[in-house]
Amino acid sequence: MSAHCQLTGRRPGFGNHISHSHRRSPRRFDPNIQRKRYWLPSEGRHIRLALSTKGIKTVDTIGIEAAVVRIRARGGKV
């Protein structure tokens, strides 16, 4: 699964591990991506989305129909 949210577009951030001696090595900060299944009443089917935890909260606030409209507006496939 790719580490990006279909709704918010969150992707991994990059930075450095910094050891006790202050040596630096590359690292990656992945968003907390969860696969959630929602019922889409307008199409009469379930859809499965890869969402960050903030994306899940957004769906709870605006509803699945509005979230699908936003995903499709960004060019995402649902």
Task: Yes or no: say if 39 and 46 are a contact pair by the CB < 8 Å rule.
Answer: yes
User: Regarding beta strands 45-52 and 13-18, do their DSSP bridges make them parallel or antiparallel, or are they unpaired?
Assistant: unpaired
End-to-end Cα, the chain, rounded Å: 16
pLDDT beyond 80 at 42: yes
Q: Which pTM value belongs to this model? A: 0.85
State the DSSP H helix or E strand holding residue 70, giving kind and residue range, or none if neither: helix 64-73
Q: What is the pLDDT of residue 48?
A: 97
Smallest CA-to-CA distance from 72 within 56, 49, 54 is with 49
Copy the structure tokens of residue 59.
């769906």
pLDDT beyond 70 at 1: no
Higher pLDDT residue, 2 or 59?
59
